[in-house]
Amino acid sequence: MASTTAGPTKTGSLYRGGEGMWSWVLQRITGVAVFFFLLVHVLDTALVRVSPNSYDLVIATYKTPIVNLLEVGLVAAVLFHALNGLRIILVDFWSKGPRYQRQMLWGIVVVWFLIMLPGAFFMLKHTVEALFGSTS
């Protein structure tokens, strides 16, 4: 016989823990992304010893607009990972950290935007000018 007591219904995302859960997920994603960047960076730098011509070709591909966008994404990931890591340290080692973890998360989001908006502008400025001509 089936139970007539209905349990909690599952709707929406698997991650329903609010801001804390999303910061946890983003911390893991940005950490893995930075790790893979470092792995690729070590491998492409090692090419200089194996085949200088191949190294030159790889470096030439890095001067494309798509890679410029990926560089902005890398900076965004590193910056979020670092700021959120500082927040995690405060939550773990400051006695009032758990009480203020949500406010600190929104604070790092604001700081992240304040740094990333002008940073992305300057990082993408050269690519935009190259694609669409000088803006001045």
* Amino acid identity, position 14: L
Q: Is residue 29 in a domain?
A: yes
Per-residue pLDDT, 7: 54
Query: Can you tell me the distance from the alpha carbon of 22 to that of 28, in angstroms, rounded to the nearest whole number?
Result: 10
Residues 37 and 74: beta-carbon distance below 8 Å: yes
- Mean of the per-residue pLDDT values of the chain: 88
Per-residue pLDDT, 41: 92
- State the CB neighbour count (10 A cutoff) for residue 66: 10
Q: Is residue 56 in a domain?
A: yes
Query: Can you tell me the distance from the alpha carbon of 89 to that of 28, in angstroms, rounded to the nearest whole number?
Result: 15
Per-residue pLDDT, 86: 96
With 70 as the cut, is the pLDDT of residue 94 above it? yes
Question: Domain containing 123: what range?
Answer: 19-132
Question: pLDDT, tens digit, for every residue of 39-82?
Answer: 999 999 999 999 999 999 999 988 899 999 999 999 999 999 99
Q: Is residue 7 in a domain?
A: no
Give percent helix, percent strand, percent coil of the chain, each to the nearest 5. 75, 0, 25
CA distance to 28, 108, 136, per residue, from 80 (Å): 11, 8, 32
Q: Is residue 4 in a domain?
A: no
Query: Can you tell me the distance from the alpha carbon of 38 to that of 109, in angstroms, rounded to the nearest whole number?
Result: 24
Q: Is residue 66 in a domain?
A: yes
Highest mean predicted confidence (pLDDT) among 19-23, 31-35, 41-45:
31-35
Per-residue pLDDT, 12: 59
Per-residue pLDDT, 130: 83
Q: Is residue 27 in a domain?
A: yes
Q: Is residue 70 in a domain?
A: yes
* Amino acid identity, position 35: F
* Burial group, residue 92, by CB count within 10 angstroms (0-12, 13-18, 19+): exposed
pTM of the prediction? 0.79
Which CATH number belongs to the domain containing residue 26 in this structure?
A: 1.20.1300
Q: Is residue 68 in a domain?
A: yes
Domain count, the chain: 1
